[in-house]
Structure 1
Amino acid sequence: MNEPPRLPGGGFAAWSRDRLGVARRGADECGDVWQLESGVYVAATAEPCEAVLRRAQDFPKAPSPLFPPLKRSSGAPTPEERAHAHAARMRGLRAQAVAARIGEIAPRTARCADQWPTGQDVEILPLVRHALAEIGVHYLFSEDAPALLPFASQLFLAREVLVRPSRWAWPRWIPTPARRFRTRQQAAFTDALRPVVRRRRSSGRLGDDVLGQMLRPSSHYGPLPEEAVLDTLPGITVATFETPSRAAGWILLALARYPQAADRVAAEAALLPADPAATTSAHLDSLQYTQALVREVLRLHPPSWLLTRRVARRTQLAGYTVDAGSTVLVCPYTAHRDAREHSDPDQFRPERWLGDADSPAKPGVFLSFGTGPHGCEGAALAMAMLTLLTAQTARRYHLSEPPGPEPSYQVATFEGLATVGLRLRATLRSREQSRFQ
């Protein structure tokens, strides 16, 4: 059988010590697809990564939701109900829906920037995560968001506890303390959300937020059962701020490390309305360099840097044969460094995403939000949040890393690519500086 090559000195032991280093070495030494262990393959470059993500029938996503349906006498939602719930959510998350609500997102990103303590080294991710949670929960639940935000924060904590690295991979049926904690927090969130759903339905005021879209009867299906609405919302609630928070850490670090790029973002952001609530999708579209910087950071540091897929049937991948039941690890981190797709792939160059004369006509593959049938539902919302947060921060501050030999953060790779403990210092930028840089 024509199997992908094994990486010399690779394997799970080396992988657990340095995931990013082994991933880079595998791509450099073995090429498009390589074998980590027997039956575990890594799609390392752009073409096989895209192929796996788009060929969902051959490479399905593992059915392991972080928040599985709660056990109830009425039973879990059926696959058909879950599919209709997904379609209903997407009505509120597609790009046009996000564009219509930019005026709600912008004030909260501005408030986050305003709350940054100046003149001191601050661990910034907790502040950013709270701000993005407020934005995400408000986007989903509008006026009911304040009551639901504490429960959403506990859901995030339950996820953090559950995915913490452990020496033991317990079978899913074992009720470990972390799983029991998750179930309690999921039940508490559901119990808080249930009266909101019933009140909206009984009053007929369904709302224009994502929850309102889920409560609207479909012309083909009718109204979603209550349990299908409730059971599919914990995961998307956490997702609206968890992954963007990881991304925000890398973006803010880039503003500190590339001051000329930060100056260009600040000059662009100076043209935003003085009242953030007056910000529209046209203003967001005008932040072209800011969006390019966000995309470039996400290219170099994709928050979901490794995606897992199962092989449904024996098939071909990049000219190799992979057996049914195998695992394929899709690696956007190395795919984004494929020199066939991106010139100078290790260089930070936001201009590559612009239509400038000096930039390539084809900027290259971009998998930070996935692609294919299981691409990120909230990609448009995440880009809006991150772009406005970047603009509002650079508009107000110069950022810098703490002086000294110690790094200002640690790189975490277990669940996603994150800047754990990131500390930065903000210094006020004068209005003239931001406008005329």
Structure 2
Amino acid sequence: MGRSNEPPRLPDGSFAAWSRDRLAMARRGADECGDVWQLEPGVYVAAAAGPCEAVLRRAQDFPKAPSPLFPPLRRSSGAPTAEERARAHASRMRGLRAQAVAARVGEVACGTARFADQLPTGQDVEILPVVRHTLAEVGVGCLFSADAPALLPYAARLFLAREVLVRPSRWVWPRWVPTPARRFRTRQQIAFTEALRPVVRRRRSPGPLGDDMLGQMLRPSPRYGPLPEEAVLDTLPGITVATFETPTRAAGWILLQLARDPQAADRVATEAASLPVDPADTTSAHLGGLAYTQALVSEVLRLYPPSWLLTRRAARRTELAGYTIDAGSTVLVCPYTAHRDAREYAEPDRFRPERWLDGPASPAEPGAFLSFGTGPHGCEGSALAMTMLTLLTAQTARRLHLSEPPGPDPSHRVTTLEGLAPAGLRLRATSRG
């Protein structure tokens, strides 16, 4: 395995210092210690693209822990087996692949156009709640089609339960302790599941299963037959919330960039003029024509990856970038620093969408891009997220000028605990006429 040695440790590194300014310490660790560094004994940070990709791809060495946010509900019949959950994941992936998303571009365009049309003008608006509502309508619609309106209120309460659960607390309780936040989460999870159950049973009765993600999950496997009902239901709360929660953080950074860079916003608006007057007529070909808009979205995601830090735990003693990592160690994968590495991107801290376009001033191939992860646990909704974000950007710039509110107060605060977000972001919109 090679020589046994540990990654360098940041001299004043500790969880207390980390919690005060995570982004600054992540940058310092990468600058002063290198590609892999030690925060505390047994806690390591993969700061560069190579180690980040290695951890994410080596799922046997660095497995992803099951999400504690929406664990399987306790039932007398027992939770779905690991094999059933794997089959449910594979069927979800089929419903979210690029081809499936391409068939729903018109629906996504309609939702994002409504956001731009209904955004109040001439006043300061806290933008993330408005974006979240729009993307929830779009995302839940892609998952459940005509059944989405009835399920949307339950999805919103699942999101609220998630927010309550991840709020900072001075006490860290064992997962088995039924805290008020966990009881609230369980109630909302049960409510969502029981609202979805009759939908599943109705679709499984004689008739169409549907061409959405749920329909893909209900299609019987030639080898295994249909998924058990509980395997379908238990795996849906997490993906339902993720469909709009993570893209909302990304959309906040994108809209802030449009407000701060009018020239880039004008270029997006010019490109978006090619979209159909009726958003429902938008196709994947129109989406493909939004080259600069997609480049702008990719550049914002590079600079502000909404999932800026991913946690893995070493299943066994192994090596990473030449260092020995003991079994049970925590490895924090940091796309934020990997994306700001000069070895990956020229002028890494500069906002330059052109780096994603073909041309003499652009690199032949952009550097590592980890905003959607990679490997076995890469984001299964990446195609849907990129479609939503690209069309939201295009439809907004086409209709509106955005600006930050005047005055000395900042327009937002940066939060990093559960993702990188411009919390409390306030923007002002004016019509392009």
State the TM bucket, normalised to the shorter chain: over 0.9
Please tell me whether residue 294 in structure 1 is matched to residue 297 in structure 2: yes
In the other structure, the counterpart of 1:89 is 92
In the other structure, the counterpart of 1:392 is 395
* SS of residue in 1 equivalent to 2:205: helix
Find the aligned partners of 1:28 and 1:409 in 2 and give their Cα distance.
27
Percent of aligned pairs sharing the same letter: 83
Shift of 1:388: 0.1
Please tell me whether residue 221 in structure 1 is matched to residue 204 in structure 2: no
Find the aligned partners of 1:64 and 1:391 in 2 and give their Cα distance.
33
The code of the aligned residue for 1:41 comes to Y
1:219-262 CA-partner distances (Å, limit 9, x unpaired):
11110000000000000000000000000000000000111110
In the other structure, the counterpart of 1:434 is none
In the other structure, the counterpart of 1:305 is 308
* SS of residue in 2 equivalent to 1:411: strand
Find the aligned partners of 2:99 and 2:208 in 1 and give their Cα distance.
22
In the other structure, the counterpart of 1:376 is 379
Shift of 1:203: 3.0
The code of the aligned residue for 1:52 comes to V
Find the aligned partners of 1:373 and 1:28 in 2 and give their Cα distance.
29
Q: What residue ranges of structure 1 are gaps of 5+ in the alignment?
A: 431-437
Find the aligned partners of 2:174 and 2:135 in 1 and give their Cα distance.
33
In the other structure, the counterpart of 1:146 is 149
In the other structure, the counterpart of 2:64 is 61
Query: Which one of the candidate residues 42, 47, 71 is aligned to 2:50?
Result: 47
Please tell me whether residue 109 in structure 1 is matched to residue 116 in structure 2: no
Aligned-residue Cα RMSD (Å) equals 0.7
Shift of 1:87: 0.8
Shift of 1:357: 1.3
Find the aligned partners of 1:362 and 1:40 in 2 and give their Cα distance.
33
Aligned length: 430
1:130-180 CA-partner distances (Å, limit 9, x unpaired):
000000111000000010000000000000000111111110000000000
Query: Which one of the candidate residues 332, 340, 344 is aligned to 1:341?
Result: 344
Shift of 1:184: 0.1
Query: Which one of the candidate residues 179, 185, 190 is aligned to 2:188?
Result: 185
1:27-79 CA-partner distances (Å, limit 9, x unpaired):
00001000000000000011100111011111111123410010011110000
Find the aligned partners of 2:315 and 2:359 in 1 and give their Cα distance.
43
* SS of residue in 2 equivalent to 1:425: strand
In the other structure, the counterpart of 2:75 is 72
The code of the aligned residue for 2:404 comes to E
Please tell me whether residue 264 in structure 1 is matched to residue 262 in structure 2: no
Point out 4+ residue stretches in structure 1 off by more than 6 angstroms. Answer: none
Please tell me whether residue 212 in structure 1 is matched to residue 215 in structure 2: yes
Find the aligned partners of 2:206 and 2:401 in 1 and give their Cα distance.
49
In the other structure, the counterpart of 1:129 is 132
Find the aligned partners of 1:111 and 1:221 in 2 and give their Cα distance.
42
1:254-273 CA-partner distances (Å, limit 9, x unpaired):
00011111000000001100
In the other structure, the counterpart of 1:281 is 284
Shift of 1:204: 2.5
In the other structure, the counterpart of 2:411 is 408
* SS of residue in 2 equivalent to 1:203: coil
Please tell me whether residue 358 in structure 1 is matched to residue 343 in structure 2: no
Find the aligned partners of 1:385 and 1:398 in 2 and give their Cα distance.
19
Find the aligned partners of 1:168 and 1:45 in 2 and give their Cα distance.
32
Describe how 1:16-27 pairs up with structure 2 within 5 A: 16-27=19-30
In the other structure, the counterpart of 1:250 is 253
Shift of 1:404: 1.3
The code of the aligned residue for 2:396 comes to T
Name the stretch that deviates more: 324-333 or 62-71: 62-71
The code of the aligned residue for 1:208 comes to D
Please tell me whether residue 175 in structure 1 is matched to residue 178 in structure 2: yes
1:3-41 CA-partner distances (Å, limit 9, x unpaired):
000001111111010000000000000010000000000
Find the aligned partners of 2:152 and 2:101 in 1 and give their Cα distance.
20
The code of the aligned residue for 1:348 comes to F
* SS of residue in 1 equivalent to 2:371: coil
* SS of residue in 2 equivalent to 1:51: helix
